[in-house]
């Protein structure tokens, strides 16, 4: 069994269909006595809705996905190098792209029949922020096989340990200068470290504020859309009620007219019956008179 093909197919399915399809492939692999394939497929986990929606974006918009992955690499590289200018440039594009791509992913999910709430849209944004911050998340997303929503990223401090820059003082050989006292860092280095720390904290706080603002806007838009949909439904129901009331009035008028027609017909029949009886009595009287 081609396990890669099966995995790719499964993570292209809507989460509601994932488990049944996975279990069917496990049964098929066991029947074929392919234990390794059965074990690998059985270990696959159903993706979260937000992760699946983000996977749709990676699968169906490969050019957008490549540009987004390149932005993530640029951000991580700038952060490792502590390049403030590159960070500002990349971060300026980050928030615009995350918002736009999250909405694109939500539209793709809706196209598959999956409703997208404000919470789900927020989680899609979390996925995309995670793609930018974490290389392993980026790799899984690039394959369209992301399973979980990453933890919320605070600022851009998420750099994998193996890619973290070595400490500068550890890479320098001990070359003491006569003008610099040994044992204590220069005051200007403390100032630089403090400035960098303050800048990173400010960026983190800006990120948190922007994230909260984005979530609030999303919730507002979602609530507005629900309110508009409810108002439209009320209008439709009001129109239907008005039509039903009109039809009821017409039906009641028709029923009343029919009742009158029945009464008139009954009265006419009764009158005709009485006239017939009187005519029959008159015939009998005339016959008796002739015999007499």
pTM listed for this prediction: 0.53
Least confident of 26-30, 73-77, 125-129, 283-287: 73-77
Judgement on whether residues 115 and 21 belong to the same structural domain of the protein: no
Query: Is 241 within the bounds of a domain?
Result: no
**Greater confidence, 287 or 165?**
287
- Mean pLDDT rounded to a whole number for the chain: 78
Cβ–Cβ < 8 Å for 133, 73: no
Examine the pLDDT at 23 and tell me if it is beyond 60.
yes
Residue 245 included in any domain: no
Q: How confident is the model at residue 28, as a pLDDT?
A: 95
Q: What is the DSSP letter of 161?
A: G
Average pLDDT over residues 56-62: 95
Residue 283 located in a structural domain: no
Domains in the chain, number:
2
Q: Are residues 118 and 148 in the same domain?
A: yes
9 shares a domain with 104: no
Residue 242 lies in a domain: no
- Give the per-residue pLDDT at 89: 64
Asked whether residue 63 falls in the same domain as residue 36, the answer is no
- pLDDT number for residue 134: 92
**Residue 267 located in a structural domain:** no
- Taking residues 95-112, what's their average pLDDT? 92
Residue 186 lies in a domain: no
pLDDT at 217: 61
Contact 118, 218 (CB under 8 A): yes
Tell me which long-range contacts 75-84 makes (C-beta under 8 A, separation of at least 24). Answer: 75/132, 75/133, 75/156, 76/132, 76/133, 76/135, 76/159, 76/163, 79/156, 79/157, 79/159, 80/159, 80/163, 80/164, 80/165, 81/165, 82/165, 82/196, 84/199
Q: What percent of the chain has pLDDT over 90?
A: 40
Do 23 and 97 lie in one domain? The reply is no
Tell whether 9 and 152 lie within a shared domain: no
Whether residues 37 and 94 share a domain: the answer is no
For the cut 70, the answer to whether the pLDDT of residue 179 exceeds it is no
- Do 100 and 19 fall into the same domain? no
Looking at the domain assignment, is residue 137 inside a domain? yes
Q: Is the pLDDT of residue 177 over 70?
A: no
Tokens representing 176? 């003491």
Residue 34: domain span? 3-42
Same domain, 56 and 115: yes
- What confidence category does residue 32 fall into, taking pLDDT thresholds of 50, 70 and 90? very high
pLDDT of residue 268: 87
Query: In this predicted model, what pLDDT tens digit does every residue of 133-159 receive, in sequence order?
Result: 899 999 999 999 999 998 866 544 434
Q: Please check whether residues 87 and 24 belong to one and the same domain.
A: no
Q: Are residues 20 and 79 in the same domain?
A: no
User: Which residues 6+ apart lie within 8 Å of 13 measured at CB?
Assistant: 21
In a domain, 171, yes or no: no
| pLDDT tier for residue 184 given thresholds of 50, 70 and 90 | very low
- Whether 19 and 60 map to the same domain: the answer is no
Q: 148: which DSSP letter?
A: S
Residue 97 pLDDT class (50, 70, 90 cuts): confident
């Amino acid at each position: 069994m081609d396990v890669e093909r099966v995995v790719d197919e499964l993570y292209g399915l809507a989460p509601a269909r994932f488990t049944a399809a996975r279990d069917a492939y496990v049964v098929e692999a066991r029947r074929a006595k392919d234990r390794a394939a059965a074990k690998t497929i059985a270990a696959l986990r159903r993706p979260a809705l937000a992760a699946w929606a983000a996977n749709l974006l990676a699968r169906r918009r490969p050019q957008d996905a490549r540009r987004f992955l390149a932005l993530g690499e640029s951000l991580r590289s700038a952060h490792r190098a502590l390049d403030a200018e590159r960070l500002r440039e990349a971060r300026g594009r980050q928030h615009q792209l995350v918002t736009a791509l999250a909405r694109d992913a939500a539209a793709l999910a809706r196209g598959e029949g999956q409703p997208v709430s404000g919470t789900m849209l927020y989680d899609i944004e979390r996925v995309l922020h995670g793609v930018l911050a974490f290389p392993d998340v980026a790799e899984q997303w690039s394959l369209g096989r992301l399973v979980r929503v990453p933890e919320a990223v605070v600022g851009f401090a998420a750099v994998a340990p193996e890619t973290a820059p070595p400490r500068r003082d550890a890479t320098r050989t001990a070359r003491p200068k006569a003008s610099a006292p040994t044992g204590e860092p220069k005051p200007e280095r403390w100032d630089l470290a403090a400035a960098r720390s303050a800048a990173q904290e400010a960026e983190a706080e800006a990120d948190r504020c922007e994230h909260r603002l984005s979530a609030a806007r999303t919730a507002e838009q979602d609530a507005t859309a629900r309110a508009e949909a409810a108002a439209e439904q009320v209008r439709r129901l009001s129109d239907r009620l008005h039509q039903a009331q009109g039809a009821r009035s017409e039906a009641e008028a028709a029923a009343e007219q029919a009742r009158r027609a029945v009464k008139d017909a009954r009265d006419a029949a009764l009158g005709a019956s009485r006239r017939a009886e009187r005519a029959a009595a008159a015939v009998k009287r005339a016959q008796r008179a002739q015999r007499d």
